[in-house]
Amino acid sequence: MFWFKRLGRLSHPAATRIFTSMSAAQTKTVKIGLCQVLVGADKQKNLETASAAVREAKKKGADLIMLPEMFNCPYSNDSFPGYAEEVPFDIAGEAVKFNGDAKEHPSLHAISNMAKENGVWLIAGSIPERHDSNLYNTSLVCNPEGLFVAKHRKVHLFDIDVPGKMTFKESDTLTPGSSFTSFESPFGKIGVGICYDLRFPEYAMLLAKAGCSILCYPGAFNMTTGPAHWELLQRGRAVDNQLYVATCSPARNPESAYQAWGHSTIVGPWGDIVATTEHEPDVVVAEVDLQRVDEVRTSIPVRKQKRLDMYEVVSNRKA
């Protein structure tokens, strides 16, 4: 059994405290922590590893911390059903306090505890989510009080076939999400995508249009696509939209059938690499200057120079 409590932004005193960033001045800098953790077959060990990495990132000064895609289970279609958990709430402009059974929802409890115990904003990579007869690749975001403030279901499923190198079809087990995801924070509005979502510039453009200054993508590019496109796509999305892009990958596990590329990275609005790592387990923390977003957008004002009389990227849903 489970229950959860919604905290309205205006009517609940705790919610008013949580969302002070919506009316107060935003901070000018934020320290982003990327937890490139090793993921294995033991779910509980994966959660403990993630918790330890978040604590390390906090000790290094991180305010906003990200875990990798599928941080609680191996990245494989065979694994997703067995590791899946229900996420029995939606989030629509409200913070959600979840008090479900810890045995049925160990990942949700771990995510909430990681955020609350360390007093950080946490983008909890992704986990397989079970909803009715469907499975989703779902990212959850918690505020420093351990309340859930955003939920993103991977919009673009990873279905590729590179002859002789890589074949993978998430659609064999997963269902795509159908919404844009962002959340308000003291660091401004932050957009969330998952891995393959990074390849679609329209998704990033619409999040930028909605006011995001940081886009976060937990991901797990592989040894075929990673060397070729992982950094390239991040720099492309950052330059296209003149904002920060942060990605977090699992560490490469030599015992896994799916080999992650690693190289968790933060890219600046000028396309510069702010911080990165190799493929081993690591915790990377870097401070980013949010004023840089405005400076770049003023220096090269492409947002004002778009020929809207000729073209426009339009969303069929609210971004």
The whole-angstrom separation of Cα 56 and Cα 62 is 9
Catalytic-labelled residue, pool 35, 73, 142, 195: 195
What torsion, rounded to 10 degrees, do the Cα atoms 240, 217, 243, 289 define?
-150
- Count Cα neighbours of 217 within 13 Å in the Cβ-side half-sphere: 35
Known catalytic membership, residue 212 = no
The whole-angstrom separation of Cα 149 and Cα 7 is 10
The whole-angstrom separation of Cα 87 and Cα 126 is 12
Token readout for 120 is: 């950080």
Known catalytic membership, residue 154 = yes
Q: Which of 177, 241, 184, 247 is nearest to 209 (CA)?
A: 241
108: helix, coil or strand? helix
What is the DSSP pairing of strand 64-66 with strand 29-36?
parallel
Catalytic-labelled residue, pool 73, 154, 170, 184: 154
Known catalytic membership, residue 69 = yes
Catalytic-labelled residue, pool 43, 58, 69, 189: 69
Report the catalytic residues: 69, 154, 195
